[in-house]
Every structure is written in structure tokens, then in C-alpha cells.
Amino acid sequence: MSAEQRLHASTVSIDVPNGHPVGAGFVAAPDLVCTAAHVITKLLARRSAEPGVGTQIEVRFRATGTTATAVVEVWQPAREADIAVLRLQAPVPEGVRPVRLVDEPDAWGHHCRMFGFPEHHPDGVWAVGTMHGRQGSGWLQIDDDRNAGFWATQGFSGGPVWDDDRQAVTGMIVATEALAGRRTAYAQPASALLAVAPGLAGWAEPPGRWDDSPFRGLEPFREQDAPLYFGRAAEAAELAETVWREPFTVLNGASGTGKSSLLSAGVLPRLRARPAVIVGLRVAAGASAESVLTRALAQAFDLPDATPSEIAAELRAGRVGDLVVRALDQASAQRLVIVVDQLEELVGHEPAQATELFTLLRALWGSTRTVRVIVTLRSDFLDQAAALSGLGSAWTHAITYLAPLTGDALREAVEGPLAAAGRTARAAARGPHPRRRRCDRGRPADGGVPAGAPVAVRARRRAHP
């Protein structure tokens, strides 16, 4: 399931009777819902009732639109931890499932997503941000440097904070800045929820449990994971050559085939060594493609006159190539490589911004022969992206298809990280393993996910009980 699907399946709203939501919450165990205590207080203020343990309320499941009765089991009022944990009085309906909690002690720089119910949006909206560690009270600070799009205002309280790096919920929104121009919110970390609600522990991942594991589990490999990335050496070398040579490359494949891992841990280290300046882009919902691109270029160029506004002006005037050449000279590099991972998120949710991004990227690589662009894209978005790209027949020539791992390459992807960490597959996953037999036969798992992924995850868990 994608992050959006997982949050959709776990998020609840807490509504006034026949009215607007006053806040959010999320299913964190099969029969437990977490929310902020002040959300319950706000709800009951309309009934002139005092909240506390034993208080009964209704929650609405976002996935089904149905409501359920829940009773407050843990109560930490706003002046304390601002946490309420509710026990559902009946099994959740089909389509609702708990989201995974992770106690992440070092979330600095992690990209996150939030879902809430601000005024005039009873169906809910998304917000995104970057986590910047814990402030004095122990809350996680989350900032959004965009100048557009929804932010975590009132109505997001009690909602989950989804950490894209950990692929799990690492906190719960409890406060937001009221000052104009400030796009900052605060969240109770997962550790605070686990401390007051022991019933959540069985469904959470403790801190550092996999810190010494050679596997990334279901998360993609990053550039710093290159020493542990195995099974794709030939594809990585070939794709690096293609990117070095061609102005635009589309790395295409089914969901779960490892496009992001190949790009980050296989291709980028090879390009950086040549050397190249790498600029990664992520255009979140509500953001301007031009703003994101020019800001990223300004940071990478590190030139006094290369401000985002100056780069935008040079792009529009067709003169940005001069800035690129100067920046590469200063960095002693030969290529500027623009990387857009998971382009389907923009194509599927913000087609207008995807079109703008393609226009800007064409202007960029057309301004000088030293610019290269590579994007990763799921196969089911190929036609839609092609129509938005404005590249015509050149789009087809830019596609590199990535097939699932099979046979010896799949075995290497599973056993290589173990060997690099001084372990063996036999020691990490003792006894007969049905998934390993599938791996030996060289078949990919259903849906395009390499069969080695479950082996790796299970081996990781057996190696670290």
C-alpha cells in the first residue's frame, strides 16, 4: 500500500453532531484510536461535558464514511501531554486498518505528510512538511517552506504525521503556529504515545530495532546505502552511461521493481564520481514547480548572483545555461543531473504542475549540453506523463524499462547485504523458507515486487529478535 492508502485506511475524523470535524485521529492498533486531548475537549465543550477516562464519543472512519463508538481509555489533558487514546467498542469495518507507529529518535530533515480537516474542508486535505527535530517541550517541530498549498492548521490536531523516510507514523499533531506567515506545526513523537498507552506497543516498531540491519526492508535504498546495494550492477552501470549521454531519461517499471533504489544507490554514486552535480526535486501537492526547481538550483549552484528569482528570470529568458556552466566550473564537475523520483505523484495529483515542470526542464537541458534529467515513473502513468511532457516521439526514445529481479541477481540482492555485514542467509533466516524456494526458481513475486523483498525483511527480523 502507498502512504496515501495507508493513511486513508487509518485516519478518523472527530465530528460535532451533524456538523464539521473538530479534529482528526488515527487507528494505531486494531481497537485503539489516538487523537489529541484538546480535540475531545473542544468536542465536549459543545455538550457542556467534562472529558476524561470513560468519556464516550463517536469517530468517523475516513475509509468507509461510517461511525463507531469509542471510549477514552488514556487521558492526558492539553496542559500535560495532550494525548487521548480511545478504545473502539466494536471491530473496525472492512477497509479500515491500523497504521504502523515508529519511535524515530532522529527525524531531522525527514519529509512528512499530514491529513486533517480544516474549516470548509470536511472531507479533509493534505499538508506536507519537513521535520526539524524536537524543541524544548519534546514536541517534533515540522516546517513548510512553500508559499502555497494547505498547511497543518486547526482541524489537523490529533492526526498522524507520516514520515516518508521511515514509511510509518512517527508522531501526532498537537499544535500549530498562530502567527501570520509561519507555517510551523508541532507533534507529539510516537515515543510519547507509547509511554502512556502500553496497548500500542505490540503494533509499534521500537527505536533503533533495525539500525544495524543491512536491509532497508520495504523502504528504498538511498545513496548512502550503495555499499549494501546488490543485484543491479549491470543495470546501474548501463543506466549511468545513458544518463551521462542523453539529455532526458525515463526509468520506467511496475510498482515495487526497485526504480528508486536503482537510481539512488546504483546510478547516482556512479554519476557523482565522474563527477556530476546532483539536484533532487520533489514537487509536493500545492507547490509551484518553478519555485521548487529554482530553489534547488540556487542551493546547488552556490553562486552569489544565483538566487531563485534570478534563476527563474534566466530560465524564462533562455539564458540559464551560462549560470549552469559557471556553477559546474566552480564545482569542477562535468554534468548537472536533475533527478525527479516518483514522478507519478505529480502526474497523478498535479498535472498542471507536471506540465510546468516538463516545460522548465526542457528549457534547462536545452540551454546547455551539460544538463541531464532523469525521472522515475510507474508503468501505469506512462501515457499520462507522455501527454504532459510535450516531447512527442522523443518521449518514447527516452524510456529505459526496469524488469523485476530474478534468478542469480535476486539471490545476490538478498545475500549480498548479509555478506557485507558479515552474516549469512542461513544464519539470518534459519530453516526451510517457502519464499526462498520461489527465489531459487527465479520467479518475481506477484505484482512486480521482487520475491527477495519478503526474504530480506524476514531475514532481517530473525537476525534481530
pLDDT at residue 171, rounded to an integer: 92
Query: Per-residue confidence at 93, pLDDT binned at 50, 70, 90?
Result: confident
**Per-residue pLDDT reduced to its tens digit, 97-155:** 888 888 888 888 888 999 999 888 888 888 888 888 787 678 889 988 665 567 777 88
pLDDT at residue 458, rounded to an integer: 36
Name residue, grid cell 506477484.
446
Query: Per-residue confidence at 425, pLDDT binned at 50, 70, 90?
Result: low
Cell (9 digits) for 425: 542467509
pLDDT at residue 455, rounded to an integer: 39
Residue 443 has pLDDT above 50, yes or no: no
Mean pLDDT for the stretch of residues 410-423: 79
Tell me the CATH architecture of domain 232-401. 3-Layer(aba) Sandwich (3.40)
- In whole angstroms, give the CA distance from residue 383 to residue 92: 38
Residue 451 has pLDDT above 90, yes or no: no
- In whole angstroms, give the CA distance from residue 370 to residue 321: 9
Query: Per-residue confidence at 223, pLDDT binned at 50, 70, 90?
Result: confident
Angle subtended by helix axes 289-301 and 351-367, to nearest 10: 40
Q: What is the CATH number of domain 1-209?
A: 2.40.10.120
- In whole angstroms, give the CA distance from residue 400 to residue 223: 20
The more confident residue out of 252 and 428 is 252
Mean pLDDT for the stretch of residues 360-367: 92
Q: Which of 176-185, 221-230, 231-240, 421-430 tops mean pLDDT?
A: 231-240
User: In the predicted model, what is the mean pLDDT of the chain?
Assistant: 82
- In whole angstroms, give the CA distance from residue 197 to residue 293: 43
Name residue, grid cell 469495518.
93
Residue 436 has pLDDT above 60, yes or no: no
Tell me which residue of 386, 380, 409, 390 sits closest to 399, measured CA to CA: 386
Cell (9 digits) for 194: 507509547
Tell me if the bond preceding 220 is cis, omega within 30° of 0. no
Residue 286 has pLDDT above 80, yes or no: no
pLDDT at residue 251, rounded to an integer: 97
Q: Give residue limits of the domains in the chain.
A: 1-209, 232-401
75 backbone dihedrals φ, ψ, rounded to 5°: -130, 115
CA atoms within 13 A on the CB side of 276: 24
Query: 428-436 — which CB contacts under 8 Å span 24+ positions?
Result: 428/459, 428/460, 428/462, 428/463, 429/455, 429/458, 429/459, 429/462, 429/463, 430/462, 433/458
pLDDT at residue 454, rounded to an integer: 39
pLDDT at residue 160, rounded to an integer: 94
pLDDT at residue 148, rounded to an integer: 59
Query: Per-residue confidence at 213, pLDDT binned at 50, 70, 90?
Result: low
**Per-residue pLDDT reduced to its tens digit, 310-339:** 898 888 888 899 889 999 998 899 999 999
Question: From start to end of 18-82, where are the E strands?
Answer: 21-29, 32-35, 56-61, 67-76
- In whole angstroms, give the CA distance from residue 85 to residue 25: 9
